[in-house]
Structures are given as C-alpha cells and as structure tokens.
Structure 1
Amino acid sequence: MRAIKKAFTSALLLLYLELVVTAAGALTSDAANEGGRFRRRVSNPCSVPTRPRSIAFGDPSLVQESDRKRWRYLITWQAPATINCGSISSYQVKFPETSSAPETLAGNILEKEVYTDGEIPITFTVTATNNGGFTSASESLSITTPTLPPQVAPRDLAIVPSTSNNNKCVKVSWSAPEYPNGVITGYQKHYN
C-alpha cells in the first residue's frame, strides 16, 4: 500500500495541467509527465460582436411633462452585423442627460424613448453584449435639440424702492426662468 501511495504522489508531482484562455476565445491545455508533453487546443466560438449599427434619432415630438414642455425622441438602432456567439443578450444604452449610469435593455429591444429640453447637445451611446458575455465597442450619435420657448415666466420678481429722490422710479429685479430651453436673448416688461 505504501508503495502505491508513493507512486501516486510521484505521478502527481510529475504531472501538471496548465489551462490558458487566449483573447480570441481559444482554450489551450497542456499535460506533461516523464513521458513527454501533450497539448490540446479547443476553440471557443464566442468573441466580441461588432458595434450596433445605424443609430437614428426619430423626429422630435413636443410633449407636456408635468410643469413644462420637452422634446421626445425615439432612438433606434440595428443589431451588430456580426454577433460572434449565438445572439445578443442585452444592449447597454447611455443618455447622460438623464442618467450617468448605462441602462440595460433586453437583446430583442432595438429602440429607446428619451426626453430632453430645448437647444442642448445630446449624445446617445449603445453597446451590445452577446451570449458569451463579450461586449462590443460603443456606437454614438450626437445632435442638438431644437429651441423651445422658455417654459415659465422669470422667477423671484421683486419691486425695490428707488434709492434716488425721484418717486417716479422703481427698480425691478428677477431671476431667469428655471427651464430657459436655450439662451435668453431678452425680456419684455409691461406696466399697468
């Protein structure tokens, strides 16, 4: 029994197994002992998919959202030309104007509805992940949204008595609207 145990221990010390996964998705295994070395290479059919294709912003539509109007866009894209592993399991979309974290969508969803204010640059980014867990490079599209009128009147309107000795003068102050939807180019004042 002792001789069998010693032989088995010696065989374990002389035999080693090495596994290496290459970037191309191939698995290589080596086995060696006193008699030599054996190598086997098995290819993994999965690798990185190509980028999603043809990102497009649909025509904007004006929608009322609580206390203001905003632009609504339907953004669409096509699946990658080469998936490299069965099917696409998910898409990660990023629209930084609404969230800094990417949103994950199921692999059969090829559109996303987004809402934005007027006259701002926006960038939409999408990546694809296949069933092998490989993620594509990102594809992005940027636009600047059309101008919208300011959504509410100026805020913090105040009439301050004049510091001059002229009782026919007043000082009026205000803050810019909360949702200017672009650069404010002027204000209109009316007195009754």
Structure 2
Amino acid sequence: MADRDTLADLLRLDDERFRERVPETLASDEYDAERLRRLASDDPPPDPPGESGSLATHEGAYVRRIRVLDDASLGITLTGPAYADNPVVYANRTFRELTGYALADLRGENLRLLQGPDTDPEPVADLREALSTWSRVTTELTNYRADGTPFRNRVSLVPVTDAAGSVVNWLGFQQAVDETSE
C-alpha cells in the first residue's frame, strides 16, 4: 500500500515523472498498471463538471492527478487557498466513500464539517498549528460521516507551495483507523 509521503511526493512530481511513477508506485495495491498509464497519459480525464476554467493552473493539475488516484487506499483531498479558509477543491472517490459526502457537498466547504461532539480539540489544534506554520502534520481524531456516524480518522496535511515557497494549497490524506489496533 502506498503511504502518505509516497503519494504526496508522487503528486508533486513533474508530469513526465508522474506518468512514469504512478504504475510502479501503486503496483503493490493491485492496480491495473495499463489503466493507470492511460489515466496518467498526456490526455488526462476531463475536469469534473463545473470545474472547467474555475481552477488555478496548478490546482487543475493536482485535481487531474488526484482523479487518477481516485481508488487509492487513502482518501486524498486538495484544499485551499489558505487565505480563504481552505475550502475543498477536490476529494477523491476513496475520501467520498469514507465520509459519505458527495463532491458537490464538499466543494467550497472547510473540512471542519467532519467534526462533531466527540472530536477532541487537541488534534484539531495540531491541524490548526500546522496550517498556521505551513508544516506537515499527521494526527488522529474522531470525525463524522455525512450520516452522523463517528469514525477514527488518521489525517495528514502536506503543504503545496508555489515557486516562491508560499503555501497555495494543502493536500490531505485520510484513512479510517480501527480503534482496537491503536
């Protein structure tokens, strides 16, 4: 299974290296390598409905790459920009299935919508601090699905920077964790 750091590094590669590395990186996840090569080719899947022209160039590239990874074993989100309260730009299918939210319900929302009455403030503070200091973080917290069902979620945030080194977006990786295995 590809881990969070591997997927983050993969998403940040230039186009040619991304196309080369996707099949080999995800081979252990039993992906169809030829399907991945086609998805990662020069003819990326079209933008999701309602997105054409509405994303910054770098966001469109990340969205296309995350769509290639729609069935990755981890939920993947692209949020930002930070100054606008980190709204969801895209969430892969794995994330949507994990949380029960449709993409239309997530777009433009902050992922705080996953918090609820039993969400511990300490990991939330860790996430907030990482956002304010532009640093990576991994933490676990109780989140809630669209139907109100709680689940333990291991969340990693990875900053996406521009050429000047400013954080312009955030990659999020989410995975339900079994509380009995902690």
Q: TM-score normalised by the shorter chain: which range applies?
A: under 0.3
The structure with more radius of gyration: 1
Q: Which has the higher contact order (CA 8 A, sep 6+)?
A: 2
Between Structure 1 and Structure 2, which shows a larger proportion of strand residues?
Answer: 1
Normalising by the residue count of structure 1, what TM-score does the alignment of the two structures yield?
Answer: 0.22
Between Structure 1 and Structure 2, which shows a larger proportion of helix residues?
Answer: 2
